[in-house]
């Protein structure tokens, strides 16, 4: 039952976010913000596919323990693409609120992203091993969480300052995604049931993508009047 339900959920998720991303790219009508948002959604879905597709295959065949290498490689790739996702989201923020300058802030974003990717690339992670060390799961997520917190604050403050109704809740699904993700990093190895929090985490990312999509659709309708 778990294999069927989880696989169906993953299929719906991947098809949804990638499709929405492609639609946003094609219908952005020259708006760089929404085109970038579309690419962000595609990166999200494509990156997660490297982990979710092998996982679904493993669940539906001989079990996760027989696909350690493919699952580890997928998790490795997803860790990098999720970092890229947040860098793109930072540029969505800059475009939406017409942010100029602030080179220090941009350097911080790139610094945290680079630290995250560098830590993910370290051989000590042992991605392709069944006994990946718990400590490195913590290390590589420290700059990732800091990057996420920074994006949350930026969207929360800017949406309030500009009275941006379309993006007024953007900070919330990002907050929720990290709220569900952190317990998985900390305790899922000891309490496997906590891994189920990845489902609401995924739903939070879908919400993030839908916020951008609905904002774009509203803009298109207003231009058509």
Give, for all 225 residues of the chain, the pLDDT tens digit. Answer: 677 888 899 999 999 999 999 999 999 888 899 999 999 999 999 999 999 999 888 888 887 788 889 999 999 999 999 999 999 999 999 999 999 989 999 999 999 999 999 999 999 999 998 888 989 999 999 999 999 999 999 999 999 999 999 999 999 999 999 999 999 999 888 888 898 899 999 999 999 999 999 999 888 777 755
Q: What is the DSSP secondary-structure string of the chain?
A: -HHHHHHHHHHHHHHHHHHHHHHHHHHSTT-HHHHHHHHHHHHHHHHHHHHHHHHHHHHHTT-GGG-HHHHHHHHHHHHHHHHHHHHHHHHHHHHHTT----HHHHHHHHHHHHHHHHHHHSGGG-TTSTT--HHHHHHTTHHHHHHHHHHHHHHHHHHHHHT-STTTTTHHHHHHHHHHHHHHHHHTTT-GGGGGGHHHHHHHHHHHHHHHHHHHHHHHHHHH-
Residue of 79, 119, 96 lying closest to 37 (CA atoms): 96
Residue of 17, 52, 60, 65 lying closest to 213 (CA atoms): 17
Give me the pLDDT at residue 115, please. Answer: 97
Give me the pLDDT at residue 1, please. Answer: 67
Tokens representing residue 70 in the block: 């493919």
Tokens representing residue 73 in the block: 């490689």
Cα(117)–Cα(14) distance, integer angstroms: 23
The Cα-based distances of 223 to 29, 30, 124, 148, 216 in angstroms read 11, 13, 53, 33, 11
Report, in angstroms and rounded to the nearest whole number, the Rg of the chain calculated over CA atoms: 18
**CATH class label, 2-224:** mainly alpha
- Is the distance from CB of 152 to CB of 171 less than 8 angstroms? yes
Cα(164)–Cα(67) distance, integer angstroms: 46
- Is the distance from CB of 205 to CB of 176 less than 8 angstroms? no
Q: What is the pTM of this model?
A: 0.93
Question: The tokens 């900070």 sit on which residue?
Answer: 171
Residue of 177, 179, 181 lying closest to 209 (CA atoms): 177
Tokens representing residue 100 in the block: 């100029």
């Amino acid at each position: 039952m778990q294999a069927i339900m989880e696989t169906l959920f993953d299929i719906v998720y991947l098809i949804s976010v990638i499709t929405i991303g492609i639609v946003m790219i094609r219908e952005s009508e020259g708006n760089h913000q929404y085109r970038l948002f579309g690419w962000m959604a595609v990166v999200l879905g494509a990156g997660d596919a490297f982990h979710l597709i092998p996982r679904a295959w493993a669940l539906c065949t001989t079990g996760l323990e027989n696909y350690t290498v493919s699952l580890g490689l997928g998790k490795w790739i997803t860790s990098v693409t999720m970092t890229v996702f947040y860098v793109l989201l930072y540029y969505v923020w800059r475009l939406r609120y017409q942010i100029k300058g602030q080179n220090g802030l941009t350097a911080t974003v790139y610094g945290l992203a680079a630290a995250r990717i560098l830590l993910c690339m370290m051989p000590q992670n042992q991605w392709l091993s069944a006994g990946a060390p718990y400590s490195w799961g913590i290390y590589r997520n420290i700059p990732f969480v800091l990057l996420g917190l920074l994006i949350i604050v930026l969207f929360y403050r800017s949406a309030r300052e500009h009275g941006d109704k379309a993006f007024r809740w953007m900070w919330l699904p990002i907050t929720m995604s990290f709220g569900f993700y952190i317990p998985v990093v900390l305790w899922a190895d000891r309490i496997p049931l906590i891994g189920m929090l990845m489902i609401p985490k995924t739903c939070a990312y879908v919400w993030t993508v839908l916020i951008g999509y609905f904002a774009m659709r509203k803009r298109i309708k207003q231009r058509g009047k």
